[in-house]
Amino acid sequence: MRDALRRDDRVFLMGEDVGRYGGCFAVSLGLLEEFGPERIRDTPLSEAAFVGAGIGAAIAGMRPIVEIMTVNFSLLALDQILNNAATLRHMSGGQVGVPLVIRMTTGAGRQLAAQHSHSLEGWYAHIPGLKILAPATLEDARGMLWTALEDPDPVLIFEHGSLYNDRGTIAADAGPVEIGHAALRRPGSDVTLVCYGGTLPATMAAAATLAAQGVDAEVVDLRTLRPLDEETIFASVRRTHRCVVVDEGWRSGSLSAEISARLVEQCFFDLDAPVERVCSAEVPMPYARHLEEAALPREETIVAAARRTVG
Amino acid sequence: MTTRADGAAPEDPRVGLLREMTRMRLFEERCVELYSAAKIRGFLHVGIGEEAVAVGVSAALAPADPVVSTYREHGHALARGVPMDSLMAEMYGRATGCSGGRGGSMHLFDADRRFYGGNAIVAGGLPLAIGLALADAMRGTGAVTTCFFGDGAYAEGEFHECANLAALWHLPVVLACENNLYAMGTAIERAQAETDLALRASSYGMAAWAVDGMDVVAVAEAARRAVDHVRGGGGPVFLELRTYRFRAHSMYDPERYRDKAEVERWRERDPIDALVARLLEEGALDEAALERIRADALAEVDRSVESAEAAPLEPVEELTRHVYAEQGGRS
């Protein structure tokens, strides 16, 4: 974000506690001192107003980054995201575009219980007019923001809370990354594991465990949930003939359901086993650590699902 | 004052307001007929009776001032200078419509004239307006955004979030509340604990006053004062425009919630008739000039219908355009 603010004076950050507080996950720490309160703009607790204000400012030529504290709070701004950001270009016959970036935290794993832990990015991926990103690596977290800011349409970036503590060094010449394609995080020949965002670490761990058991798993990180890069998924499944979809959303009506359906539509005769899905248990996320862990996709459940597909 | 080509006395500026209100009235009356004839579909909300608000407020705005409106926005669009042909074509869902046939009556857009809809979610346009004003403030353009909304929107959380934000950030915005006393079929006293809307708005720390929304001259003066206040750095203004719609909420509305006598009482205060009577009495207008205004507006409406009838439909192959920016497109 610092780079973006330096690069383009149309960019500004707006949200609850992004300034004085430094961001509730310390994402924007230090930005207020460097860029001042006009561009690092603390807002009242008014999600609909400040998300909508971001839309209006984008229409008028600015490049706002709006931060929503968690995905659950984004529901208070759903009217603005769905009824305005996603629709204005189409309803206006192409006249009014919304070059807006909305960032928010998603996912569970920090014992924050049912109103701070859900994975609703799949809902947003349902909506035409939006682009939905889910970075799982440091390079993507940085590069996707850059690309999103250059996009003429509203882009929502879902940052998994459990990834905020990842630290590492990014190449000095790292720049924007393309956002339309999934990435192969691990090549393999026996089964395709499809995942994104916060489920990448558990999926990679599962692939390592499977390798030790003689199962060579390929890991596809979706990166972008809308538009969905189905070609990369299909190509992988045509090689491995088996697929496990890992999605922290609930199984019913989820992104995993969409991927599974598309595989049945497009790759039915390539499949040697039913598509498996590893999702969150169908409960509001519980607080107690053992219950939360039991509700989430994790290495063991991914391994078990993959083993079922290879018989 | 404009000078007439024939060298006669300069025209009274109120005649211009009358001309605009007449265009709006005749356009909407024709829309009602076309709706009954099934030429126009969807929801159709006309503002017949509320012309003084659209025309009076718009008269105070500069071309660079953004406007955000509601689903009852034909008059706002017309007064903003959106060509009647493109509005009528949009009613018909034609490719030449101001939104390419994708918006219809409730979603009229004209980005070149900074007219940003046409929002069918009650209060949904308010945050947009706040953002437009924020952008203009950050860039120092001096533009003033106007947001039209109804008394129904006043009950929504989005209104209160935006009123707070506008005042807190001292944004250049006029919040133009068209109080027509009904949120669809719910009378204001059944929806608002305190029906003095300007009084409540002033509690946000912004200038707020109420105006007779049936008197176009009063509206234009109040709007001018509001825009001057905002442009001069005085912060946002809330304008409560007390008006009335003579017709039903929409073409589907059987109007069981109010009695005919009430509507008749308000019709006696018809903003067009009232202005005509005043201008004739003061000699600022004669019958011939009045007839010409009506004939010109009628001819313009006729032409817009003719061109809409003849306009092409958007090819179905174009259905999925304008969901995202086109290749290479930047907005």
Look at the block and give the residue holding tokens 């996912």: A107
Of B97, B124, B131, the CB nearest to A83: B124
Cβ contact, residue pair A49, B322, below 8 Å: no
Asked if B321 reaches chain A (Cβ–Cβ under 8 Å), the answer is yes
Is the sign of the CA dihedral B326, B329, B330, B331 positive or negative? negative
Beta carbons of A98 and A89 less than 8 angstroms apart: yes
Whether residues A52 and B130 touch (CB distance < 8 A) is answered with yes
Structure tokens at A115: 């109103």
Q: What is the pLDDT along chain A (311 residues), one digit of tens a residue?
A: 888 999 999 999 999 999 988 887 778 888 999 999 999 999 999 999 999 999 999 999 999 999 999 999 999 999 999 999 999 999 999 999 999 999 999 999 988 999 999 999 999 999 999 999 999 999 999 999 999 999 999 999 999 988 887 788 777 777 888 898 999 999 999 999 999 999 999 999 999 999 999 999 999 999 999 999 999 999 999 999 999 999 999 999 999 999 999 999 999 999 999 999 999 999 999 999 999 999 999 999 999 999 999 98
Number of separate helices (H) and strands (E) present in chain B: 11, 9
Q: How far apart are CA A219 and CA A212, in angstroms?
A: 16
Residues B299/B32, Cβ–Cβ less than 8 Å: no
Q: Is A193 helix (H, G, I), strand (E, B) or coil?
A: strand
Q: Which residue in A56, A88, A129 is closest to B134 by CB distance?
A: A56
**A12, A39, A90, best to mutate vs chain B, most B CBs in 10 Å:** A90
Close Cβ partners of B76 (under 8 Å, ≥ 6 residues apart): B54, B58, B67, B69, B115, B148
* Burial of residue B287 (number of CB atoms within 10 Å: 0-12, 13-18, 19+): exposed
B132 close to A60: Cβ distance less than 8 angstroms: yes
Q: Are strands B237-242 and B173-179 parallel, antiparallel or unpaired?
A: parallel
ipTM of the complex: 0.90
Element (H, E) at A58: helix A47-59
Q: How high is the mean pLDDT in each 10-residue block of chain B (331 residues)?
A: 64 96 98 96 95 98 97 97 98 96 96 96 97 97 97 96 98 98 93 95 97 98 98 97 94 88 96 98 96 98 98 94 75 36
Widest Cα–Cα separation across chain B: 60
Which pLDDT tens digit goes with each residue over A86-110?
A: 999 999 999 999 999 999 999 999 8
Question: CA B118 to CA B227: how far, in whole Å?
Answer: 22
Phi and psi at A292, nearest 5°, equal: -60, -45
Give the mutation candidate from B73, B158, B171 for the A interface (greatest A CB count, under 10 A): B158
- Cβ within 8 Å of residue B222, ≥6 positions away: B56, B209, B211, B239
pTM of the model: 0.92
pLDDT (0 to 100) of residue A118: 95
Domains delineated in chain A: 1-160 (3.40.50.970), 183-310 (3.40.50.920)
Q: Is B137 helix (H, G, I), strand (E, B) or coil?
A: helix
Q: Give a three-class secondary structure readout of A222-251.
A: CCEEECCCHHHHHHHHHHHCCEEEEEEEEC
Q: How far is B131 from chain A (nearest CA, A)?
A: 3
Tokens in use for A281? 């248990």
